[in-house]
């Protein structure tokens, strides 16, 4: 692990990335208040309760690493701020791509590994700072 970043993410986890506990693959309705969500499946740590959802077309493939409440909260905030760079804007898929490339550059990681779901707490904090930097840059350009 370098700078808190796992460059190889296991999308089929068996061991918890947070506590080393046993991870099981199960229905996610116990997590999302009895409602099934997304693929309907998740990976959950039997020790600390951290979890991660999975892709709908590939229900065995996790979105990223298992997250605890603190990570989920920060991930949510990061996504909200980050999505403002492209959401509801013209050329949004191009803008989205550019924004990810810009963030990856600031974080000094390959763009294909630049996903909030892949970030641990240390990395999420760095990503949050990177987003603030990107917002400041855009403000400057508007002046
Ligand atoms: Zn755990």
- Distance, CA 28 to ligand 1 centroid (Å)? 16
What residues have CB less than 8 Å from 93, skipping those under 6 apart? 86
Task: Report residue 88 as tokens.
Answer: 């509801």
Tokens 């400041």 map to which residue? 136
- Ligand 1 is an ion; its neighbours by CB within 5 Å are 16, 18-19, 21, 45, 47-48, 50
- Distance, CA 79 to ligand 1 centroid (Å)? 23
Question: In which band, very low, low, confident or very high, does the pLDDT at 142 lie, cut at 50, 70 and 90?
Answer: confident
Beta strand 51-53 pairing with 41-45: antiparallel
Question: In which band, very low, low, confident or very high, does the pLDDT at 132 lie, cut at 50, 70 and 90?
Answer: very high
pLDDT of residue 3: 46
Question: In which band, very low, low, confident or very high, does the pLDDT at 97 lie, cut at 50, 70 and 90?
Answer: very high
- Distance, CA 104 to ligand 1 centroid (Å)? 27
- Distance, CA 8 to ligand 1 centroid (Å)? 18
Sequence spans of domains, the chain? 1-66, 69-142
In this prediction, residues 42-66 reach a mean pLDDT of: 94
SS3 content of the chain, % helix, strand, coil (to 5): 40, 15, 45
pLDDT of residue 8: 74
* Integer Rg of the chain from CA: 16
- Distance, CA 89 to ligand 1 centroid (Å)? 39
Report the C-alpha gap between 30 and 28 in whole angstroms: 5
- Distance, CA 30 to ligand 1 centroid (Å)? 17
With a cut of 50, say whether residue 115 has pLDDT above it: yes
In this prediction, residues 102-110 reach a mean pLDDT of: 97
- Distance, CA 81 to ligand 1 centroid (Å)? 28
Closest CA to 1 of 25, 21, 18: 18
- Distance, CA 19 to ligand 1 centroid (Å)? 4
Query: Tens digits of per-residue pLDDT, 16-46?
Result: 999 999 999 999 887 766 666 678 899 999 9
């Amino acid at each position: 692990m370098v700078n808190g970043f796992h460059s190889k993410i296991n999308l089929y986890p068996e061991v918890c990335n947070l506590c080393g506990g046993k991870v099981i693959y199960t229905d996610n309705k116990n997590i999302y208040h009895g409602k099934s969500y997304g693929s309907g499946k998740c990976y959950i740590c039997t020790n600390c309760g951290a979890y991660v959802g999975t892709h709908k077309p590939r229900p065995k493939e996790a979105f990223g690493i298992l997250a605890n409440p603190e990570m989920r909260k920060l991930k949510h905030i990061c996504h909200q701020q980050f999505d403002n760079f492209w959401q509801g804007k013209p050329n949004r898929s191009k803008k989205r791509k550019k924004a990810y490339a810009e963030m990856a550059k600031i974080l000094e990681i390959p763009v294909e590994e630049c996903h909030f779901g892949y970030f641990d707490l240390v990395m999420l904090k760095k990503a949050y700072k990177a987003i603030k930097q990107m917002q400041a840059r855009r403000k400057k350009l508007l002046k």
